[in-house]
A and B are shown apart, each in its own frame.
Chain A
Amino acid sequence: MEHIPGYVLIGLSTGTTYAVIGLGIALVYQVSGIINFAQGDFVMLGGLTFAFTAEQGAHPVVAAALALTVTAGCGAALHLAVLAPARDAGHDRLIVLTIGASILIQGSAVLVFGADQHFAAPFGGDRQFQAFGVSISAQYLWCAAAAAAVAAAVWALLSRSQTGRAMRAVAADRETARLMGIAPLRMGLIALLLAAVLAGIGGVVLAPIQPPDATAGVPLGLKGFTAAVLGGLTSPLGAIAGGLVVGVVEAVVTGLVSSGYRDTIVYGLLVAVLLVRPGGLLIAAVRERL
């Protein structure tokens, strides 16, 4: 029991990445009503591109820039080539389309980078710090800093810029926003682009801690979903809080029970949230459908 503060600290550290992933999922869902199953694969793509390029000897900044460009390009391609042509299709079809995109990205990643893990050095050397009796990689400070910066940037965009206001208008009332001269499809593109860049950032800062391979995206995406759903699926701030909760639950379960049952419990948490708290979800869903 005396270890719990340490587990919570570990959980908050890993939770920052889930928060960034969940933030992207919530943004896309809010603006275009699409549950984007490819979000985790954007994280994988960002991390893998970064680690692979860094392994080839590129400067980490160059590698990170390349990784973000690749994920952003992939996000734009997903919107322009897959989702926009099917904009009149029902939500069910759009969900399956993002699943198709997800396995397409995974398959291409295996073809390009191979099936093996790729390794990147921690930023600023391999250092650990001690707190509450646990030792944590200093890289997690980068994760937390990236999450905080990303959250602040998204908040500033949504509440302070004209584009952000237009995005929120589309989320609130698509048809009226269209009458006011806002193109929902364009806002959807911006949201997906933003989500892809967020995922790319998450992938880059996570790569030194969890060496990515082509299949790394699915579990990360699912934790992002859990984060977003915990936060009500339409609230960016809620998704960030949700991400931290997921990280803490995961770390405490791993510490107190066993690492073997960790996935069962974390994924079970998502099912439980969907089952127990449909109230918050219900309101969002009805607003979405009517």
Chain B
Amino acid sequence: MTARFRPVAGYMVFVAVLLTVPAVFTRVPFYTLSTAVLMVLLAIGALGLVPLTGLARQVSIGQAAFYGIGGYTSAVLTVRYHVDPWWGLLAGVVLAAAVAWSLGAVIFRAQGHYLSLATLAFGLAVAALVNELPVTGRNAGISGLPPLRILGASLTTDLPFYWLCAGLLLVATVAVHLLLRSPVGSALTAAGDSPIAAAAAGIDISALRRTAFVVSAVLASVAGSGYAHWFRYVDPSMLGLLNSVQLLIIITVGGRESVWGAPLGAFTVVTLAEVVRGRLPGSEAGAELTAYGVVLVLSLLLLPRGLAGLPAALRRRARGAR
């Protein structure tokens, strides 16, 4: 297979997997359609970290804030102002993008790795705010969100909602893939590999990083809105630090330099969480955190390109052995 057709083959496999998931997940133990929906939503959220963390090497620990901005914008607009859910989702995307744009406009002026600190603090500040503001329902959250509707049909059950999310994931994957293959993607890689050389070559590093940050915020917001309309309820736990870390684990374990890293990572991490919860009842929180930590550290040390980079690593090893 030539390198040219590899992406096409990749998409054929991906679509085939997405199509067979409902049939498989309803027939094997402990996987259900709701796990599938969760995996797909997390994959959408994690996908935005491929350009930002994978290429530009900027670590964000505040993605849950954008996830929450999406979910809460949807909730406030649809429940309190009876706006159509799709407009709510769109408003969430616009708000998340605007917040990321303005935060990025100043944070990327400084070199170094302050994004991780700034996003961590920003995420916790927004979480604390949502917990206090009357409009977001304080710690009770907002319940009674309407379901998303397509062509007049309400998506109230898991199966149609899965198809919608799978479609969104496919569109998002193609969009991020095109971004990676565009000149912007090459510039992002250059800026990640050597910021000084890239700046010397005339690349505006801060604008690039900001673009990647906005893309990550938009995708996290879409995932958040989707989650809010599926669960029909939002509360401050959506913005928890663990959700940000979870997206980071997904993309690290799956492979942060490839669009396939997000779905692979989401599948692995959600499966891991389910296994740990099922095996060790009683100490769920501790066991889950420990498992996350072990997987994250091990994958960074042993498999720096994640599961998506495994075939290439094996090929290289086979070639080296010959």
Beta-carbon contact of A275 and B106 below 8 Å:
yes
| Cβ-based interface call for A270 (8 A) | yes
A65 at the interface (CB under 8 A from B): no
- B132 (CB) vs chain A CBs: closest residue: A260
Which listed residue (B59, B61, B294) contacts A104, Cβ 8 A?
B294
Tell yes or no: A73 within 8 A of B by CB. Answer: no
How distant is B310 from chain A, measured CB to nearest CB, in Å?
A: 17
Cβ contact of B301, chosen from A82, A260, A278, A281, cutoff 8 A: A82
- Please give, as numbers and ranges, the residues of chain A lying within 8 Å of B304 by CB-CB distance: 89, 93
User: How far does the alpha carbon of A209 sit from the alpha carbon of B240 in the complex, in Å?
Assistant: 25
Q: CB of B95 within 8 A of chain A? A: no
| Chain B positions 92-110 with a Cβ under 8 Å from a chain A Cβ | 103, 106-107, 109-110
Residues of A contacting B132 in the complex (Cβ-Cβ under 8 angstroms): 260-261, 264
Residue in A99, A107, A267 with the greatest tally of chain B CB atoms within 10 Å: A99
A35 at the B interface (CB under 8 A): yes
Q: Could you tell me if A111 and B292 are in contact, using CB atoms closer than 8 angstroms?
A: no
What is the interface residue range for chain B against chain A?
35 or more
Does B272 lie at the interface of the complex (its beta carbon under 8 Å from any beta carbon of A)?
Answer: no
A264 in contact with B128 (CB, 8 Å): yes
* A residues in contact with B196, CB < 8 Å: 289-290
Given contacts A101-B297, A226-B121, contact A92 B113 (CB under 8 A): yes
| Residues 255 to 290 of chain A near chain B (Cβ within 8 Å) | 260-264, 267-268, 270-271, 274-275, 278, 281-282, 284-286, 288-290
* Residues in B neighbouring A99, C-beta threshold 8 A: 61, 245, 248, 296
Shortest B64–chain A CB gap in Å is 13
Interface string of B174-195 (1 = CB under 8 A from A): 0000000000000000000001
Closest CB of chain A to B294's CB: distance in Å? 6
A268: which B residues are within 8 A, CB to CB? 121, 125
Proximity bits, B249-273, A CB within 8 Å = 1, else 0: 1001000000000000000000000
Interface membership of chain B positions 234-245, coded 1 if the CB is closer than 8 angstroms to chain A and 0 otherwise: 000000011001
Total A-B Cβ pairs within 8 A:
159
Residue of A nearest to B131 (CB): A260
Determine if B111 is an interface residue (Cβ-Cβ < 8 Å): yes
Q: How far is the CB of A267 from chain B (nearest CB, A)?
A: 4
Q: Is the interface of B mostly helix, strand, loop or mixed?
A: helix
CB of B128 within 8 A of CB of A261, answer yes
**B171 located at the interface, meaning its Cβ lies under 8 Å from any Cβ of chain A in the complex:** no
Q: How far is the CB of A248 from chain B (nearest CB, A)?
A: 18
CB atoms of A97 and B110 under 8 A apart = no
Q: Is the CB of B286 within 8 A of A281?
A: no
B114 at the interface (CB under 8 A from A): yes
Scoring B58, B124, B196 by chain A CB atoms within 10 A of each residue's CB, the highest score goes to: B124
Q: Given contacts A226-B121, A274-B118, are A286 and B111 in contact (CB under 8 A)?
A: yes
In the bound complex, CA of A268 to CA of B110 (Å): 18
* A residues in contact with B249, CB < 8 Å: 100
Q: How far is the CA of A86 from the CA of B283 in the complex (A)?
A: 31
Shortest distance in angstroms between B272's beta carbon and chain A's nearest beta carbon?
Answer: 13
Chain A residues closer than 8 Å to B252, beta-carbon distance: 96
Q: Which residues of B contact A218 (CB under 8 A)?
A: 241
**B198-244 contacts to A (CB < 8 Å):** 241-242
B290's nearest neighbour on chain A, judged by CB, is A107
Rounded to whole angstroms, the CA-CA distance of A218 and B117 in the bound complex is 12
Q: Is the CB of A92 within 8 A of B59?
A: yes
Residue pair A103, B110 in contact (C-beta under 8 Å): no
A residues whose Cβ falls under 8 Å from a Cβ of B? 35, 37, 82, 85-86, 89-93, 95-97, 99-111, 115, 214, 218-219, 222, 225-226, 229, 260-264, 267-268, 270-271, 274-275, 278, 281-282, 284-286, 288-290
Q: A35-B113, A96-B296, A274-B121 are in contact. List 7 more A-B contacts (CB 8 A).
A: A92-B57, A100-B292, A104-B289, A104-B297, A107-B291, A229-B117, A264-B128
